[in-house]
A and B are shown apart, each in its own frame.
Chain A
Amino acid sequence: MISELGHVALLLALALSCVQALVPLVGAQRGDARMMAVGSSTALGVFVFVSLAFAALTYAYLVSDFSVRNVWENSHSQKPFLFKFTGVWGNHEGSMLLWVGILTLFSALVALFGNNLPAQLKANVLAIQGWIATTFLLFVTLTSNPFERLFPAPFEGRDLNPILQDIGLAIHPPMLYLGYVGFSVAFSFAIAALISGRIDAAWARWVRPWTLTAWLFLTLGISMGSYWAYYELGWGGWWFWDPVENASFMPWLFGTALLHSAVVMEKRNALKIWTILLAILTFSMSLLGTFLVRSGVLTSVHTFASDPSRGVFILMILLLFIGGGLALFALRAGTLKQGGIFAPISREGALVLNNVLLTTAATTVLIGTLYPLALEALTGEKISVGPPYFNLTFGPLMLPLLLAMPFGPFLAWKRGDLKAVMQRLSWVLALAFVGLLTTFAVQTKTSIAAPFGVAAAVWLIFGALAELVDRARFFRVPLKTAFSRLFGLPRSAWGTTLAHAGMGITLLGIVGVSVYEREAVAVKQPGDTIELSGYTVTLEGIRPNSGPNYTEQVADLTVRRGGTVVAVLSPSKRLYQARNFPTTEAGIKTFGASQLYATLGDFDDKGGVVVRIYDKPLVLFIWIGTLFMGAGGVVSLTDRRLRVGAPKRAKPHAAAVPAE
């Protein structure tokens, strides 16, 4: 009964969403205030009904109602509570419902917090959100109904794929979707601006917090997904240039570009047409990502839950919004007025360079991701485009971006002085040089690339800090004054510094683990030892163990350094009974930012087991850096400037914060 209610709620949401897509749009054309106001109430209504549907599906999972096909296929009565809950979106249907739910959440937030938007703009934005919601609700109800019943109801479910039975499933997909889908708001604002033909600096000020919110969730979502894959898949890799990873990375690259071009638009009223185009392209990449992951066209190590028969439907949605958006852009972009001239060497110029490099790099990723699909469709030839392609194309394009990054915030608007900036950054350059020499001196493995990588990371981190140091006038005014100036700086300056420094920290991790990683693989009997980078690892024994829905063989590894025990690692091989599905659980010990990572291979018939141990120097910096980027986003969101004449707060839990 609850499931039927959920289904009805979904259909009501669809009907209401049609109203949201049409009435405010007509109202905005006619200047009819009452029709425009329909946008807000329907947006809230759609959100409520989709939430009810989601709650109904969640209920079916929690009580293990196996008469619902989706629950039977993906759940099990013995599954721990948390995974019964997260299992709701660990499959195609539930995942799409989450997608739509987050889309309608963003629409509802625009409706709630967009009170200071011009009525016409708000009506158009909500109507476009309504169009997106309508098409995806149609997709869910027509091809991916999560409430389909089974008769007779089976006694036991088929369980969730064990790899997904992890806390990562609770965090990664919701964060990723908050990012992915959050870019729909920027898209809707862009389309609304094209419809009305009006766009100005205020528009950028409204769009920026939404873009920033989406960007910070996407950053953290990708990062958490990467860490999850790293510890769960047992391969010890953190990025595979896999099509599914690229699907989330492309909107991130475009979104990062959009974030920067919106700054130019807001401050200098320039790059308007380009910003609009970027907003359309960013969400197009989100839609493309949804298509790639959900349609089943990809061969990927990460795809779960896909069905080719649904691909055509998403492809139609894709064509409607990307094609429609770009067509409207081509028709109307000419009517937008250009403004704000600037010299090539200026803050604007630096941000343009950022945009050129980011979008070009994103395009190379796009080509590498789609080329195998296109080639197979056209010639039938099957190829794979992997890390060698991406390292060769993406890397060289990122390099100038990273090197130029510290210059940007130092350059003045309109016309900058590169020589003066170089002088202010001279101490950072000196530090980078020290970093280079130190790395050369202490490295245990001869590498030319690594010292330069470390130097680039130092350049980025301290280059970012240099901006704060400089603006607070450290060493030029008394220390106390400098500190009070430092904390008086706009939050957005802090945000920039945090995010840029985060990039440097991530780079440091990438360099450390790519160059200095060491690995040992061997068959070991209990009592045997393995030597790796100064660690002596002893296999003490292998013991059976059992969890709520699995049994496992755990290897106890004692790690010694210089005779003293520094860690005990317990990697295991699990067998999940419901699906008779084996998984490998890594044993990980963290030393500072470095990790020792152990996994097990097959057991042989003589009581031995294949043990693989990695020493991963600085690997944690990869994800710590992204946390800094996310923190930069949060701090920047609290900047006063963004709240003046803009939606108060673009975060979901904004209600708890008293309005200023």
Chain B
Amino acid sequence: MTRKQRRLTMMAVAGSVLVVAAGLVLFALNDRIVFFNSPSDIAAGGAAPGERIRLGGLVEEDSVVRNDGSLVKFSITDTGSTVAVVFDGILPDLFREGQGVVTEGSLDANGLFVADTVLAKHDETYMPKEVADALREQGVWQGEGESATN
């Protein structure tokens, strides 16, 4: 092999790896990302049933109902709209009524949000950034958002 052929071989290998990677990235960014929705977005028909989304807002006061199993029902609100959520599993330590929360899952045909993940936050004064923004849109939240004290 000449020097030129060697270089071409290397370029071809590197090039094909890059092409494959670029293809994967483009496909994954189209297909495997999850959009954030506030309850108002959902009320406005922002998400189709079955589509995987994140839903964030405040856990509505007096909305948490525990059944006999580990099934929990609660509502997420941005004070404009409210979405009922059902979750089977262990809630994070800092899950409380009136607190900001982000859940991941999908809407069922009846508009009930079936969550498989409830995101835990590590700080009791923490307000998830998306939730803070959503509440600001509703004119409720005045703070900076994402303001951890420590």
Say if A and B assemble together: yes
Judged by a CB distance under 8 angstroms, whether B124 is at the interface is: yes
B128-146 toward A: CB 8 Å interface, digit per residue (1/0)? 1110010000000000101
B68 closest partner in A (C-beta): A523
* A641 in contact (CB, < 8 A): no
A660 proximity list for chain B (CB < 8 A):
none
Find residues 541-585 in chain A having any chain B CB closer than 8 Å to their own CB.
Answer: 573, 579-584
Query: Contact: A308 with B148, CB < 8 Å?
Result: no
**B13 proximity list for chain A (CB < 8 A):** 344, 353, 356
Q: Contact check, A522 vs B70: say whether CB atoms are below 8 A apart.
A: yes
**Docked CA distance A384–B54 (Å):** 8
Q: Is the beta-carbon distance between B128 and A299 smaller than 8 angstroms?
A: yes
Nearest CB on B from A522, distance (A): 7
Say whether B36 contacts A384, CB under 8 Å. yes
* Min CB gap A141→B, angstroms: 20
Are B21 and A393 closer than 8 Å at their CB atoms?
yes
Q: Cβ of A595 < 8 Å from any Cβ of B?
A: no
Q: Mark A583-615, 1 if CB is under 8 A from B, else 0.
A: 110000000000000011110100000101000
Cα–Cα distance between A301 and B126 once the two chains are bound (Å): 11
In the complex, chain A residues whose CB is within 8 Å of the CB of B91: 601-602
Contact B123 A397 (CB under 8 A): no
Say if the beta carbon of B112 comes within 8 Å of chain A: no
The smallest C-beta distance from B135 to any residue of chain A, in angstroms, reads 13
Give the secondary structure class of B's interface: mixed
Please, which residue of chain A has its CB at the minimum distance from the CB of B16? A356
Complex Cα gap A160–B91 (Å): 23
* Interfacial chain A residues near B14, Cβ < 8 Å: 352, 356
Given A160, A233, A381, A581, which contacts B35 in the complex, CB threshold below 8 Å? Answer: A381
Cβ contact within 8 Å between B90 and A388: no
- The residue of chain A having its C-beta at the shortest distance from the C-beta of B72 within the complex is A602
A74 cross-chain contacts in B, Cβ below 8 A? 150
**Complex Cα–Cα for A235 and B120 (A):** 10
Q: Mark A356-370, 1 if CB is under 8 A from B, else 0.
A: 110011011001100
A581 neighbours in B (Cβ, 8 Å): 93-94, 124
Check A383 against B35 for contact (C-beta < 8 Å).
Answer: yes
Task: List, in ascending order, chain A residues with CB within 8 A of B148's CB.
Answer: 296, 303-307
The total of chain B residues at the interface (CB under 8 A) is 48
Question: Per a CB cutoff under 8 Å, which of B9, B17, B123, B129 touches A360?
Answer: B17
Q: Check A610 against B150 for contact (C-beta < 8 Å).
A: no
B10 is an interface residue with CB less than 8 A from chain A: yes
In the complex, what distance in Å separates the CA atom of A383 from the CA atom of B124?
Answer: 24
Classify the secondary structure of A's interface with B. Answer: mixed
Q: In whole angstroms, what is the CA distance A464 to B35 when docked? A: 43
User: Which residue of chain B has its CB nearest to the CB of A160?
Assistant: B150
Decide if B44 is an interface residue (CB 8 Å cutoff): no
Contact B6 A396 (CB under 8 A): no
B69 at the interface (CB under 8 A from A): yes
Instruction: Say which residue of B10, B120, B133, B150 sits within 8 Å of A301 (CB atoms).
Output: B120
Report the contact-size class of chain A (Cβ under 8 Å from the partner): 35 or more
Q: Given contacts A360-B18, A384-B33, A384-B34, is CB(A305)–CB(B150) below 8 Å? A: yes
Is B28 located at the chain interface by the 8 A CB criterion? Answer: yes
Q: Is the CB of A382 within 8 A of B36?
A: yes
Q: Would you call B122 and A163 a contact (CB within 8 A)?
A: yes
Q: A343 touching B1 by the CB < 8 A rule?
A: yes
The answer, among B35, B69, B123, for a CB contact under 8 Å with A161, is B123
Is there an interface contact between B144 and A308, defined as CB atoms closer than 8 Å? yes
**Contact of B90 with A599 in the complex, beta carbons under 8 Å:** yes
Cross-interface CB contact of A385 among B20, B27, B33, cutoff 8 Å: B33
Tell me how far the C-beta of B26 lies from the nearest C-beta in chain A, rounded to whole angstroms. 10
What is the 8 Å Cβ interface bit string for chain A, positions 148-178, against chain B (1 contact, 0 not)?
A: 0000000000101101000000000000000
Write the chain B residue with the least CB distance to A299.
Answer: B129
Check B28–A389 contact: CB distance below 8 A. Answer: yes
Residues of A within 8 A of B111 (CB): none
> How many Å lie between the Cα of A582 and that of B124 in the bound state?
9
- Given the interface pairs A302-B122, A341-B6, A383-B36, the reply to whether A602 lies near B66 with Cβ below 8 Å is yes
Q: Does A82 sit at the interface, judged by CB under 8 A?
A: no
Min C-beta distance of B141 to chain A, whole Å: 15
The minimal Cβ–Cβ distance linking A41 to chain B, given in whole angstroms, is 38
Contact of A356 among B17, B104, B150 (CB under 8 A): B17
Task: Determine whether the beta carbon of A304 is less than 8 Å from that of B123.
Answer: yes
CB distance from A206 to the nearest CB of B (A): 27
Interface residues of B in 59-94 (CB under 8 A from A): 66, 68-70, 88-91, 93-94
Assembly CA distance A634 to B10 (angstroms): 32
Flag if A73 contacts B66 (CB, 8 Å). no
Within 8 A of B (CB), among A357-407: 357, 360-361, 363-364, 367-368, 371-372, 381-386, 388-389, 392-393, 396-397
Question: Shortest CB–CB separation between residue B56 and chain A, in angstroms?
Answer: 9
Provide the bound-state CA to CA distance between A213 and B33, in Å: 37
B124 close to A301 (CB less than 8 A): no
Interface string of B3-29 (1 = CB under 8 A from A): 100100110011001101100110111
Residues from chain B with a CB closer than 8 A to the CB of A233 are 120
Q: Which residue of chain B lies nearest to A92 when distances are taken between CB atoms in the complex?
A: B150
Q: A397 near B21 (CB under 8 angstroms)?
A: yes
Q: Cβ of B130: which chain A residues have Cβ within 8 Å of it?
A: 299, 382
Complex: A364 Cα to B68 Cα, angstroms: 44
The one of B1, B34, B90 that contacts A383, using a Cβ cutoff of 8 Å: B34
A352–B91 Cα distance when bound, in Å, is: 47
Is B47 on the interface with A (CB-CB < 8 A)? Answer: no
Chain A residue nearest to B37 (CB atoms) is A382
Task: Give Cα A361–Cα B104 distance, bound, in whole angstroms.
Answer: 27
The 5 A-B pairs at the shortest CB distance, nearest first, are namely A382-B36, A601-B90, A388-B32, A582-B93, A389-B32
Binding site for A on B (CB under 8 A): 1, 3, 6, 9-10, 13-14, 17-18, 20-21, 24-25, 27-29, 32-36, 54, 66, 68-70, 88-91, 93-94, 104, 119-124, 128-130, 133, 144, 146, 148-150
Binding site for B on A (CB under 8 A): 73-74, 90-92, 158, 160-161, 163, 233-235, 296, 299, 301-308, 341-344, 349, 352-353, 356-357, 360-361, 363-364, 367-368, 371-372, 381-386, 388-389, 392-393, 396-397, 521-523, 573, 579-584, 599-602, 604, 610, 612
In the complex, 17 of the A-B residue pairs with CB atoms within 8 angstroms, ordered by the A residue number, are A73-B149, A161-B123, A163-B122, A234-B90, A305-B148, A307-B148, A344-B13, A356-B14, A371-B29, A382-B35, A383-B36, A385-B29, A393-B28, A522-B69, A523-B70, A601-B91, A602-B91
